[in-house]
Amino acid sequence: MRVLFCGDVVGRAGRRAVLDHIPEIRRRLDLDVVVVNGENAAHGYGITADICRKFFDAGIDVITGGNHSWDRREIVPFIDADIRLLRPLNYPEGTPGWGAAIYPLRDGRSIMVFQVMGRLFMDPLDDPFAAADRALLNHRVGQSVDCIIVDVHAEATSEKASMGVFLDGRVSLVAGTHTHVPTADGRILPGGTAYITDIGMCGDYDSVIGMNKEQAVARFIRKIPTGRLEPAEGDGTLSAVFLETDPDSGLARTFAPLRLGGRLPEVWPA
């Protein structure tokens, strides 16, 4: 299976990068599934039903969320009705929506996607490691499903790396989101799981993690309220990772970064 996972989409610049490039990337890499983290897609805070529909129309199959999943109140009925929009699995029981789902492909194969949110320097949610264990209780990669993708939405690199080790050999990919900076540690772990601490963002890199740089710097040097940060709206870069799985085991066979457009150097999988 050939999968593309795009990092956090930040504001209009990120949406443009995704909508402009995904159709071409799907054709060029002959992708089976595209996953996007969309929790910052609506002007940097949350996502709307209209943005979700535009993403689906452009060829995105699954959208994951994060700590900004609920910033747009109008998304609640949509997230409760459309299983293609996920939120972190380790929210308390009774939270609207799904944290994990299995998606059938037209050729009879299936992919499972789930998201957990870290607890270090984040909201005090339920244990993400126990939540991941529960999600995998009745599913084995290469057996009940052909591919399993995990979005670890967390601040601390140590927590993301620990999740990678914890799930090594049990899932196809553990990919970190939330910090908006692409890391250089993408690799296939000893057990066969692809791992990266952070995919990076889809957005304008002439910024501070996607936000207006003057506003962001002012917060650090003045230490007085400056209002809500606004997304930078220059040329957006699409930051993603490409995964190809082994058809028998469902574990990673090829794993590489993909970056296109904007200010970062262009990178395509070999």
3-state secondary structure of 167: helix
The whole-number pLDDT of residue 222 equals 87
C-alpha span between 164 and 152 (Å, rounded): 9
The H-assigned helical ranges of the chain are 11-29, 49-58, 75-81, 128-135, 157-167, 213-222
Spans of all domains in the chain: 2-260
Is 0.85 surpassed by the pTM of this model?
Answer: yes
C-alpha span between 59 and 42 (Å, rounded): 19
Return the active site residues. Answer: 68
C-alpha span between 246 and 254 (Å, rounded): 9
Separation of CA 149 from chain center: 10
Tokens 């066979």 locate to: 253
C-alpha span between 2 and 255 (Å, rounded): 10
Q: Enter the DSSP assignment of 83.
A: T
What string of pLDDT tens digits covers the 270 residues of the chain? 999 999 999 999 999 999 999 999 999 999 999 999 999 999 999 999 999 999 999 999 999 999 999 999 899 999 999 999 999 999 999 999 999 999 999 999 999 999 999 999 998 999 999 999 999 999 999 999 999 999 999 999 999 999 999 999 999 999 999 999 999 999 999 999 999 999 999 999 999 999 999 999 988 998 777 788 999 999 999 999 999 999 999 999 999 999 999 999 999 998
CA angle 157, 7, 138 (to 5 degrees): 75
Amino acid in the structure at residue 187: R
Domain 2-260: CATH class, spelled out = alpha beta
C-alpha span between 197 and 177 (Å, rounded): 8
